[in-house]
Chains A and B, each alone.
Chain A
Amino acid sequence: MANITVFLCRCFGEIDNAIDFDLLRKELSKDTSVSSVSIVDSLCLEADIEKAASQIKETKADRVLIAACPTLSRGNLPVDGLIKEGIERHKIDLVDIREGCAWIHGNDPEGAVKKAKDLINMGLAALQHKEASKDMRVSVHPDALIIGAGPAGLAAATSLAKTGFKVNILERASAPGGMLRLISQLYPTGEDAADKLNPYIDEVENNHLITFYPQSKISSIEGCIGNFTVQFSSQGEDNSIQSGIIIIATGAKIFFPTGLYRYGEIRNVITQMEIERQFLKGSFDAKKPVFIQCAGARDKERPYCSTICCPASLKNAMRLAGENPGSEVFILHRGIMTPGNVLEKYYRDALSMGIQFICFEEEKPPMIMGNDRVEHVEVYDAVNGITRKIETDLVVLSTPLVPNDDSVRLAQMLGIEVDRYGFFSESYPMHPLETKMDGVFICGSARWPVASDQAILQGRAAAMKAVSYLRQREIAASTLSRVPGPKSGHARVVPDSCTGCGNCVAACPFEACHLEKLEDRHISKVDMMRCKACGNCVSVCPNGSMQIPEHNYRMVGEMIKRAF
């Protein structure tokens, strides 16, 4: 029989004002599982916790029930304090009788006592049947793996290497740089992209802590935080590396607007990237260029703003206007997206340079006129309410960034999520670079279209997030919790009764369940490092073979029985 010590906290009269503790104590002492009931003034001050701990040791109580205020108030203080005093977590239970009982039922003392009794009874039932999950420790491989060597990946790699960690970079192309290699100048500084990139490339080449694998293709990723094993081929050779964490910086690709605005059909309708390519070769001659924004973006198919195209158009428009004096530059837009102080000033600079902005509506897109080459653009100017015919010799389409083709494949290998458009998505809005899988971080345009300076910022931020894991020798599964305090256990399979139906595998959002082959059948297996104790698997298991020991069937059943 269990030997439970119950602490009833008066909270200096806050609780026993409404709840008759004598009655409660009388009722509780009838319960055979209760060995002692103590009424205390408070439990959350330091002296109280010490006193309670020594009392528990004296009475040699197995388990402790605390009836006080909830965790969100101060209830976790006695619980944490007793854990520090050496009492195991699953042997303590906390019941809220202040906010949830005494305070809201202050005018109904009889009801309050009844509710408190029910709550405490449920707590007693829980304590008698609560079990503890096993914990697991994984030793952390101190190397980092970065997938993608664009500005985000390079920034992450150099930051980690400077901090002293060994870094492996996998890159699909043969040289580092990513999309920055295709761009001539950066907004809003006008700095050469190469100048921005070269220090990073030098660092990658010269830092002995960084290993760069060009032309690589990943075939499989296995393992979990602390110990990922990645199989890949680089320059035709198969290879395998281990790493403690993975940073995804695979970037995005440019959307080609085939069929839009007669792109590909007539000459002189080009994309923003083509004009960048021309600028890389030298100057560009266009007297009357017209930029068209949102070509393939903010429409039914791609209902998102790609962030970088408005400032990029401003940059190229100003460059064309500067290089070709006397030219007339138009930007046709659906709202110029230049948030912030720097970009807003950039927009004002463009206005003061004489670049003309015409706002059009989604339903009335500009028309490209001309036979084999564009002669003029017809656009309905929504602000002035007139249709304008703009003579032009060049139409530049601002197209959005779209996710890489293999982003879904990579996401499946890692067990992380992509959003509705195909960009990698975070699991928790307040931690925008962390994914569903611990130890897998996302940054740069692989996460969401960003300019190079933001990508570099995100790369460094992702590296910072990685440091906190890489610096540990070992990681315990129970510490991989997103909330303060340890995780509330892991799912556990009863191998004898598991039929291997696979329901849990399908239900697990964290890819923690998989089927393992035995001699005659399959059974489910839970990866503790991935399990977040959400309980999805428990609810779909047809015969109760899947349990979370801290919240097992018997315990919940007993609790319900005592409540009604």
Chain B
Amino acid sequence: MAGFEYICNRKKDAVLVIGGGVAGITASLDLADAGQSVHLVESDSHLGGQVSKLDKLYPTDHCAFCLLWTDVKKCMEHPLITVHTLSHVKELKKESGKYSAVILKNPHYIDEKKCIFCGRCVEECPAGAIHPGWEHAWPPSFVIDESSCTKCGNCAEVCPSGAINMELREEEINLVVNDVIWSTGFKEADLRHLKEYGSGTHPDIMTSMEFEDWTAEGGINKGEIVKRSNHSVPQNIAFIQCAGARDLRMIPSCSAVCCMHALKQAGWTKRRNRTIDCYIFYTDLRTVGRDYYRYSLREFEGTEIKLIRGRPGLIHPLPGGDGIAVQFENTLTRKRELRKFDMVVLNGNIQPSLIQYRPGQDEKTAIPPMDKEGFFNTESDETSTFACGFGLEPADVAESVIQASAAAMGVMNKETDQT
């Protein structure tokens, strides 16, 4: 019964989990289920991270929200987890084996526990600053966008449940924690300085996360595939893989998730509108997980997605703004072609969200060692750095949650070593 006694009698010193995406949620839940108290810090207004921005998940084509929601709710309601949303870590210092952290918590002017989601505040807001944080966030609540809010107070007057308090100010929370798990996830890199991709030159050239949002079933277009420029149905869409990735000028690494992501998006485009031709321009179609290769075969054969091996050399809007010219060489037929596409989706430009930081640049935040591409380097400092998710290495949902559980186990084992 040694293990049982140990776990029951353990000190309830907290663990700080930075990043409330799918990895952070899993790590927090695992630790809390093992009796450890957890502080989970998330910069957005709700938990869920990048997965909450996805419509579907490969390879099962499950709705991302349905899978995520149960864990988000468990996390919000767990007695041992304290969730700090709209917060970020201002200071993190390591002193005699422990970390002291200062969390800067921006106010939720709308109290999540009281908001009944009626939407009267949205109608009253003159600046249009109120919106639902994420349609399926738990608890469901509206969020005030501080950058556009004029602090007029109209919303507080009409709120029937008294959930809005504009007097709230940001607060600093001081914590002393035993360990820190970094699950900071990814962000999209700006492709504009790679001129050949034409990013930002035409509304129909979008990044894959924009496309996901634009075509999501729960999004603004209710799953319709239309052009962003004039809302007409496109005749064809080009999915460009490795845009900015596997490219020494920008992201040298392979982002690992984009091949499957493009196959998923192309497959769903075909499923929703068979008349749209989908082309995927790939370098190597990397499909290494369970059923991933079959997924690629199915999408290819079943819905006639055209796969072209080759990276376009130039993507440029056509004069008059109607359509986009894509110049490419199909490396399997060795033919150079110039073709007109109605939409272009750029895929692959994702990098760790902490890439702009450098370990040691700021004495106040003890960011763990990173490699040049911004991925945490846990091997150099194995005993004190726990990281998981895309911040550790390019990983999809399944890999991220495995890494998260493993990081949680690392925390548990380290605590045991000390006692």
Contact = CB atoms under 8 A, between A and B. Distances in A.
Contacts of B116: 11-12, 14, 42, 44, 69, 74
A385 interface: yes
A315 to B, nearest CB: 16
A365 to B, nearest CB: 16
A298 interface: yes
B417 A162 contact: yes
Contacts of A385: 333-334
Interface in A372-386: 382-385
B290 A425 contact: yes
Interface stretch (A233-241, A429-437, A521-529): A429-437
B254 A335 contact: no
Interface string B69-111: 0110110010000000000000000000000000000000000
Interface string B1-34: 1111111100000000000001000000010011
A338 B254 contact: yes
A165 B6 CA distance: 9
B285 interface: yes
Contact of A461 (B70, B113, B332, B402): B402
Contacts of A11: 116, 118
Contact of B409 (A74, A159, A471): A159
A465 B117 contact: no
Interface residues of A, number: 69
Interface string A322-355: 0000000000000111111111110010000000
Interface in B384-412: 393-395, 397-398, 401-406, 408-410, 412
Nearest to B73: A484
Interface string B260-293: 0000000000000000000000001111111111
Given A162-B417, A430-B397, A457 B290 contact: no
B410 A467 contact: no
B102 to A, nearest CB: 29
Contacts, number: 193
Contacts of B417: 162
Nearest to A208: B2
B193 interface: no
Contacts of B252: 341, 344-345, 348
Nearest to A425: B290
Given A13-B160, A159-B413, A460-B409, A382 B332 contact: yes
Nearest to B29: A468
A284 interface: no
Given A340-B253, A432-B402, A468-B30, A42 B412 contact: no
Given A458-B406, A464-B408, A340 B1 contact: no
B341 interface: no
Contacts of A127: none
Nearest to A361: B332
B297 A465 contact: no
Contacts of B253: 340-342, 344-345
Interface stretch (A303-311, A391-399, A490-498): A303-311
A73 interface: yes
Interface string B302-333: 00000000000000000000000000000111
Given A303-B294, A460-B406, A470-B4, A162 B416 contact: yes
A513 B404 CA distance: 35
Given A341-B254, A464-B406, A383 B3 contact: no
A483 interface: yes
Contact of A74 (B67, B140, B293): B140
A448 interface: yes
Contact of A164 (B70, B161, B256, B416): B416
Contacts of A69: 116
Contacts of B161: 12, 42, 45
A7 interface: no
Contacts of B409: 159, 163, 460-461, 463-464, 467
A534 B118 CA distance: 34
A467 B413 contact: no
Contacts of B369: none
A6 to B, nearest CB: 20
Given A42-B161, A340-B256, A340-B393, A430 B412 contact: no
Interface string A492-515: 000000000000000000000000
Contact of B286 (A339, A429, A467): A339
Contact of B30 (A338, A340, A464, A482): A464
Contacts of B408: 464
Interface in B132-163: 139-140, 160-161
Nearest to B254: A344
A470 B293 contact: no
B286 A307 contact: no
Given A335-B284, A468-B33, A483-B70, A165 B331 contact: no
Contacts of A12: 116, 118, 160-161
A209 interface: yes
Given A42-B161, A159-B413, A336-B284, A471 B4 contact: yes
B3 to A, nearest CB: 3
Interface in A441-484: 447-448, 457-458, 460-465, 467-468, 470-471, 473, 482-484
Contacts of A341: 252-254, 371, 373, 375, 393-394
Contacts of A192: none
Contacts of B77: 484
A419 interface: yes
Interface string A410-440: 0000000001000101001111110000000
A487 to B, nearest CB: 13
Given A159-B409, A385-B334, 12 more contacts: A42-B116, A163-B412, A305-B288, A337-B288, A338-B254, A341-B254, A341-B375, A341-B393, A344-B252, A345-B252, A461-B409, A467-B34
Nearest 4 Cβ contacts at the A-B interface: A12-B160, A461-B405, A341-B253, A468-B33
30 contacts: A12-B116, A14-B116, A73-B117, A73-B140, A74-B116, A74-B139, A142-B3, A159-B413, A160-B3, A163-B7, A163-B409, A163-B412, A304-B291, A305-B287, A305-B292, A335-B286, A338-B254, A339-B394, A341-B371, A345-B252, A384-B334, A429-B60, A432-B398, A433-B402, A460-B409, A460-B410, A461-B404, A465-B30, A471-B4, A484-B77
Interface of A: 11-14, 42, 44-45, 69, 72-74, 142, 159-160, 162-166, 209, 298, 303-305, 307, 335-345, 348, 361, 382-385, 419, 423, 425, 428-433, 447-448, 457-458, 460-465, 467-468, 470-471, 473, 482-484
